[in-house]
Amino acid sequence: MTADLVALLPELVLAGLAMALLLVGLVGGGRRHGALGAGAVLSIVAAGVALWVVASGTAEGTRFFFGMFVLDRFAVFFKALFLLSSGLAILLSLDYLKRNDYRPAEYHTLVMLATVGMMVMASGSNLATIYVGLELMALSTYILAGYFRREVKSHEAAVKYFVLGALSSGILLYGLSLLYGATGTLDLATLAAKVSGGRPGTPVLVGIALLTCGFLFKVAAVPFHMWTPDVYEGAPTPITAFMSVGPKAAAFAMFLRVYLGGLEPLADQWRLFVAVAAALTMVWGNVAALTQDNVKRMLAYSSIAHAGYALLGLMAGGQNGLQSVMFYMLVYTVTNLGAFGFVILLESRGFAGETVNDYAGMARKHPVAAFGMLLFLLSLGGIPPTAGFMGKLYLFAAAVQAGYVWLVVVAVLMSAVSLYYYLRIVLQMYLRDGADAEPAALLAAPWTERVIVACAVAVLVIGVLPGPFGEAARATVSVLAGK
User: For 236-267, how does the pLDDT look when each residue is reduced to its tens digit (9 = 90+)?
Assistant: 888 888 988 989 999 999 888 888 888 888 88
Percentages helix, strand, coil for the chain (3-state, rounded to 5) are: 80, 0, 20
Which tens digits make up the pLDDT trace of 180-213?
998 888 888 888 888 887 677 888 889 888 998 8
Hey, what's the torsion of the CAs at 306, 245, 311, 68, to 10 degrees? 180
DSSP β-ladder status, 62-64 and 69-71: antiparallel
- pLDDT at position 48, please? 93
- pLDDT at position 477, please? 64
- pLDDT at position 442, please? 41
Query: How far is residue 338 from each of residues 88, 241, 258, measured CA to CA in Å?
Result: 9, 9, 30
Return the closest-CA partner of residue 68 out of 8, 15, 138, 140.
Answer: 8
Chain-centroid distance, C-alpha 16: 23
Whether 441 has a pLDDT exceeding 80, the answer reads no
Chain-centroid distance, C-alpha 7: 24
Return the closest-CA partner of residue 301 out of 331, 336, 268.
Answer: 336
- Name which residue leads in pLDDT, 389 or 155: 389
Contacts of 336 (CB under 8 A, 6+ apart): 241, 244, 245, 299, 303, 376, 380
How many C-beta atoms surround the C-beta of residue 196 within 10 A? Answer: 11
Range from 2-6, 227-231, 454-458, 468-472 that averages highest in pLDDT? 454-458
Whether 1 has a pLDDT exceeding 60, the answer reads yes
Contacts of 173 (CB under 8 A, 6+ apart): 131, 214
3-state secondary structure of 355: strand
Query: What does the pLDDT average to over 287-292?
Result: 90
Locate the DSSP E strands across 29-124.
62-64, 69-71
Helix, strand counts (H, E) of the chain: 21, 2
- pLDDT at position 439, please? 39
Residues in the chain, total: 483
User: How many whole angstroms separate alpha carbon 62 and alpha carbon 48?
Assistant: 19
Residues above pLDDT 90, as percent of the chain = 35
Query: How far is residue 61 from each of residues 67, 72, 75, measured CA to CA in Å?
Result: 11, 4, 9
Domain interval for residue 93:
2-481
**Least trusted range by pLDDT, from 101-105, 157-161, 254-258:** 101-105
Residues above pLDDT 70, as percent of the chain = 93
| Count: domains in the chain | 1
Query: What does the pLDDT average to over 322-346?
Result: 89
Question: Cβ(117)–Cβ(136) under 8 Å?
Answer: yes
Which tens digits make up the pLDDT trace of 32-46?
767 888 889 999 999
- pLDDT at position 389, please? 93
One-letter amino acid of 343:
V
